[in-house]
Amino acid sequence: MILTGSQITKEVDNGRIVIDPFDPTCVNPNSYNFKLSPVLRVYDDEVIDIRRPMQVSTIEIPPDGYTLERNQLYLGASIERMGSVHYAPTYAARSSVARLGMFINLSAPLGDIGFVGCWTIQLFPINNIRVYYGMRIGQIMFWKPKGKIIPYDGKYQNATGPRTSEIYKDVKYTEELRAP
């Protein structure tokens, strides 16, 4: 069951959902519009090796905006810290952003119950698109789970700003399991 906008507001007021800062004008019928932080990251490596940390460049979005180049992956983040230990969050682009040819989530729309932090978003434009710090870029939805809740306590907890992949930590763990 998805929460309505008015229920999201109630749950924020009751402390069962974290959206900080919370802007009542960003509440939709069944979601909350979140805003783009001023920092973007791009991978520098020509070939990304999942067994090691990736090299990245950081881009600060200037006041007059920044043009994202088509077919380039940028990691951005929400300004807001968001999450809940009571509800399962999912997110997507606002339809107005999607209509421009911008993906903000390539394949990981489901957040873990218990994650609270700034959400890393994968910006992938199919057209050159100018973005601005603070623009409403995506929407988060909250779903009531069924079954025992085991809150997330992983490597991305309490994220601030865009976080690069830390898959190399998983690869090391997997290789340790395979060791004789």
| Domain residue ranges in the chain | 5-178
d(CA 142, CA 8): 8
pLDDT of residue 176: 60
pLDDT of residue 168: 85
What does DSSP assign to residue 26? G
Cβ(166)–Cβ(120) under 8 Å? no
pTM of the model: 0.89
The answer, yes or no, to whether the previous bond of 21 is cis (omega within 30 of 0) is yes
Which residues does 127 contact at the CB level (< 8 Å), separation at least 6? 70, 100, 101, 102
How far is CA 88 from its chain centroid?
A: 14
d(CA 24, CA 6): 10
pLDDT of residue 134: 98
pLDDT of residue 44: 95
d(CA 73, CA 177): 32
Question: Is 5-178 in CATH node 2.70.40.10?
Answer: yes
pLDDT of residue 152: 87
Helix (H, G, I), strand (E, B) or coil at 95: helix
pLDDT of residue 179: 56
pLDDT in single tens digits along all 180 residues of the chain = 999 999 999 999 999 999 999 999 999 999 999 999 999 999 999 998 888 889 999 999 999 999 999 999 999 999 999 999 999 999 999 999 999 999 998 888 889 999 999 999 999 999 999 999 999 999 999 999 999 998 888 778 888 888 888 888 887 655 565 655
pLDDT of residue 156: 83
